[in-house]
């Protein structure tokens, strides 16, 4: 609490004194309060809250913004680990506390730079929200910079890979799933939420519910239309879901079910690391490689930020060479 009082006073004088004077002020106040304990007392009977309260209302605010339950669980778990480790009231947590926590976390868990930046980003979101809501004066994450991460080129599926996967499919359902993933770039979470009446076979399109409960239209090719018609015609159930389990009682297929089916096909085809998201990355790369405007690829994939779309795509180096000779050389 003492550190917070000193910090608040120094922050309040920030517009009046220069950095040297602020340093002197901080030293004088610290010396005057040396050996004293400061206790916060609620005024006018106002209720004081513990860290759990602020975490709960932060999560509630994110839920109202439309974050998925999976994201909310990740946010809550990440922030709670930090609060438990530092073991201070939120208003007393400093930048040094957070830096020490992040350094210890990385050292003990051998976490990657990507993981550490994800944690930093979530903590930044939490404390920035507290600042915006006037629960704290200034976010202690402001001076913690983004963790620099290596830009790795992730693998995509080749045309040959896709043909081998098609040949490996042992049922109409899995073939329809492979085709829809490959031609639409749909997220696996969007795929499993599709109902039969969301699909317009004539227009070769479907309406999906994406992140943040936002709807968008995605498109598929003629081959996908053919295999979807064959799969739906062979169905013997009345479940509204587009994709269901292969055996009775024919329940809606979940994300894990799709991931297992795709992984198994990859193993049978002797192709490494086959998962639903790889089809999405492949489509983005192929679209950009063939000249589709990046803004349209962004809309197709349902990305809010165009930077996210660029992270998905791997530009063909041969095309870079051709473009260089065309426009520059």
What is the residue-level pLDDT of the chain in tens, covering all 329 positions?
667 677 778 777 777 777 888 788 888 877 777 766 655 555 544 445 789 999 999 999 988 887 778 889 999 999 999 999 999 999 899 999 999 999 999 999 998 888 999 999 999 999 999 999 988 989 999 999 887 766 666 788 999 999 999 999 989 999 999 999 999 999 999 999 999 999 999 999 999 987 767 789 999 999 999 999 999 999 999 999 999 999 999 999 999 999 999 999 999 999 999 999 999 999 988 888 888 888 898 888 888 888 878 776 555 666 667 766 777 76
- What CATH number should be reported for the domain holding residue 57? 1.10.150.130
Give the pTM.
Answer: 0.65
Q: Give the domain range for residue 34.
A: 1-46
Based on the fold, state whether residues 93 and 188 are members of the same structural domain: no
Q: Is the peptide bond before 310 cis (omega within 30 degrees of 0)?
A: no
Residue 196 contacts by C-beta under 8 Å, 6 or more apart in sequence? Answer: 232, 240, 241, 242
Note whether 95 and 126 are same-domain residues. Answer: yes
Look at residues 105, 133, 150 and tell me which one is the last residue of a structural domain.
150
21 and 135 in a single domain? The answer is no
The single residue listed with the structure tokens 């994709």 is: 243
Within-domain flag for 75: yes
In a domain, 329, yes or no: no
Do 174 and 315 lie in a common domain? yes
Question: Does 119 map to a domain?
Answer: yes
User: Residue 215: which CATH number?
Assistant: 1.10.443.10
On whether the CB atoms of residues 102 and 116 are closer than 8 A, the answer is: yes
In the chain, the largest separation of any two C-alpha atoms, in whole Å, equals: 82
Asked if 99 and 9 sit in the same domain, the reply is no
What residue spans of the chain are helical by DSSP H?
2-12, 19-32, 51-64, 69-86, 95-109, 113-132, 159-168, 172-184, 188-193, 222-234, 255-268, 276-289, 294-301, 306-312, 317-327
Q: Give me the DSSP letters along 93-118.
A: --HHHHHHHHHHHHHHHT--HHHHHH
Pick from 209, 223, 90: nearest CA to 166: 223
Shared domain for 301 and 188, answered yes or no, is yes
Cβ-based neighbour number of residue 206 at 10 Å: 25
Residues 32 and 81 in one domain: no
Task: Please give the Cα distance from 51 to 322 (Å, whole number).
Answer: 58
Does 97 lie in the same domain as 63?
yes
From 99, 125, 150, give the residue that closes a domain: 150
Judgement on whether residues 174 and 306 belong to the same structural domain of the protein: yes
Structural domains counted in the chain: 3
Q: Where are the alpha helices (DSSP H) in 33-112?
A: 51-64, 69-86, 95-109
């Amino acid at each position: 609490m003492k550190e917070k009082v000193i910090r608040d006073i120094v922050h309040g004088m920030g517009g009046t004194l220069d950095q040297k004077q602020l340093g002197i002020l901080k030293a004088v106040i610290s010396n005057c309060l040396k050996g004293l304990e400061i206790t916060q007392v609620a005024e006018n009977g106002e209720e004081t809250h513990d860290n759990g309260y602020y975490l709960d209302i932060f999560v509630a605010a994110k839920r109202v913004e439309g974050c998925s339950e999976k994201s909310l669980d990740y946010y809550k778990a990440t922030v709670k680990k930090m609060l438990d480790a530092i073991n201070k009231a939120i208003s007393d947590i400093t930048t040094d506390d957070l830096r020490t926590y992040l350094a210890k976390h990385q050292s003990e868990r051998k976490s990657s730079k990507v993981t550490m930046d994800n944690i930093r980003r979530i903590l930044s979101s939490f404390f920035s929200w507290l600042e915006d809501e006037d629960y704290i004066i200034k976010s202690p994450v402001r001076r913690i910079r983004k963790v620099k991460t290596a830009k790795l080129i992730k693998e995509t599926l080749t045309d040959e890979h896709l043909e081998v996967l098609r040949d490996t499919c042992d049922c109409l359902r899995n073939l329809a799933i492979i085709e829809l993933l490959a031609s639409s770039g749909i997220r696996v979470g969007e795929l499993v939420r599709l109902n039969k009446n969301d699909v317009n076979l004539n227009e070769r399109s479907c309406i999906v519910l994406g992140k943040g409960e936002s709807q968008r239209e995605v498109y598929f090719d003629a081959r996908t239309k053919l295999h979807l018609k064959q799969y739906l015609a062979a169905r013997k159930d009345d479940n509204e879901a587009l994709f269901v389990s292969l055996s009775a009682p024919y329940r809606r297929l979940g994300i894990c079910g799709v991931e297992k089916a795709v992984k198994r096909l990859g193993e049978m085809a002797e192709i490494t690391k086959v998962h639903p998201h790889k089809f999405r990355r492949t489509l983005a790369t192929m679209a950009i490689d063939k000249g589709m405007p990046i803004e349209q690829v962004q809309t197709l994939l349902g990305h809010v930020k165009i930077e996210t779309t660029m992270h998905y795509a791997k530009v063909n180096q041969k095309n870079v060479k051709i473009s260089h000779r065309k426009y520059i050389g």
